[in-house]
Amino acid sequence: MTPPSDAGRLAPVAGYSPFYLWLQRLVKVEPEELKALIWSSLYFFSLLCAYYIVRPMRDEMAIAGGIEHIQWLFTGTFLVMLAAVPLFGWVASRYSRKQFLPYVYYFFIANLLLFFALFKSDLTHAYVARAFFIWASVFNLFVISVFWSFMADIFSTQQAQRLFGFIAAGGTAGALAGPALTATLAIPLGPANLLLISAAFLAWAVFCITRLFAWQAGMTASRSGSGIETGGRAGATPVDQAMGGGIFAGIRLVASSSYLLGIALLMLLFTTLATFLYFHQAQIIRDSFADSAERTAVFAAMDFAVNALTVTIQVFLTGRIVKALGMGWTLALIPLALGVGFLILGLRPVLGVLIVVQVLRRAGNYAIMRPAREMLYVVLGKEEKYKAKNFNDTVVYRGGDAVSAWVYTGLRGLGASLAAIAFIAVPLAGLWAWISFRLGKRQEQLAKDAG
């Protein structure tokens, strides 16, 4: 039964709570999906709040250590990713999702407690700061990759198109709360103590996972009891069953699938252009502000602007954009817009233009590109959703970071100006848009074939 279209203008309908009827005005959620939508949104809220509490520390450490050394930090992050992915593959092969998903977050909670102890100790701060930058870069990708793998596993393609935008908005709300907590509590508590708050949010994320498993088990039991098929999408296996396979299965799966290779190339182009813009940002902001506190304030203001714009788009526009444009054009939209942004930045490589382009790029990625990109995996099997996706989201992502960081450094060493590098990025954005469009069309075909 679907609520009437004018539910928002009528008295509460029997069987539906006022909250559900209000939520229906924002997102087309079915009654049986409500708990999953709320717990998924709270889960993502907790993750991004935990990360954005520590992100300002990471960005300032990168500049304080010298922008001429950033490429080494990117390289170090990539090497750590290379070591971490086989470990994740081993855990995912031998333990069920119900076991290994909490293990991932327990591991990072332990890391936060370790860094808390290190920042409180008398060890050389520079080495701890560099290690923290690398760790935060790994932490961000891993926990979010695992989150979206789980979302792609428990929701169908049709559900993802309706719900992923709102779920992503829950994460954006966390990304707004994180910097606010940092700005409010950094002085009275001290930056190191904020790591304990970040760990507490990760612990809450684990609780959300348990509630989502309970919801999925209840839905499976309900469908089985009513004689409804519980299949319908690739990879539907019991939640307490390990998926098996080898520790390097993610690499093998990507290498053997043109679809997954396409996603890998999409990720490579995305991270290359993001890295180019990150280096532009570091250079322009360093030249514009001499004081560390001023730079940190600019970063915080940019984060707030990005997240405020993102949550507005996610709640009101993401689902409508996917429905109106289809997967192909939705995925191509941000690359095309970024190409225009780089063109303008090439003509005027100044602070104001940089901030506008960076804010719009990040907001567009979080609000539109990221949810649509995660939908690419919904039509795949369980190993592809966890192992292949994790490889693309971590090794390919940070590999692109490392390679593009050295390419950028090499171009600057050869005398290329900021404007020249911005112009080089324009055709890369065009290629990214074309690949994204083709992948979106392929996803729609796979979803149609799956029935």
Structural domains in the chain (count): 1
Least trusted range by pLDDT, from 39-48, 122-131, 260-269? 122-131
Q: Span 33-62, mean pLDDT?
A: 86
> What are the CB-based long-range contacts (under 8 Å, 24+) for 234-239?
234/379, 234/380, 234/381, 234/382, 234/384, 234/450, 235/153, 235/380, 235/381, 235/382, 235/383, 235/384, 235/385, 237/382, 239/96, 239/97, 239/98, 239/213
Q: Is residue 230 part of a domain?
A: no
Q: Is residue 13 part of a domain?
A: no
Q: Are 109 and 202 in contact (CB under 8 A)?
A: yes
Instruction: Give 250: exposed, middle or buried? Use CB within 10 Å, 0-12, 13-18, 19+.
Output: buried
Q: Are 387 and 253 in contact (CB under 8 A)?
A: yes
Q: Is residue 237 part of a domain?
A: no
pTM over 0.85: no
- Return d(Cα 348, Cα 356) in angstroms, integer: 12
Q: Is residue 236 part of a domain?
A: no
> pLDDT for 232-271, tens place per residue?
343 444 455 666 555 577 888 999 999 999 999 999 999 9
Distance in angstroms between the alpha carbons of the first and the last residue of the chain: 22
Helices (H), 95-245: 97-120, 125-154, 157-189, 191-225
Which structure tokens are listed for 61?
């450490």
- Backbone φ and ψ of 348, nearest 5°: -140, 85
Structural domain boundaries, residue 99: 27-219+248-450
- Return d(Cα 436, Cα 428) in angstroms, integer: 12
Q: The domain spanning residue 105 has which CATH number?
A: 1.20.1250.20
Q: Is residue 369 part of a domain?
A: yes
Q: Is residue 366 part of a domain?
A: yes
Q: Is residue 14 part of a domain?
A: no
Q: Is residue 417 part of a domain?
A: yes
Q: Span 126-137, mean pLDDT?
A: 81
> pLDDT for 360-396, tens place per residue?
999 999 889 988 998 999 889 888 888 888 889 888 8
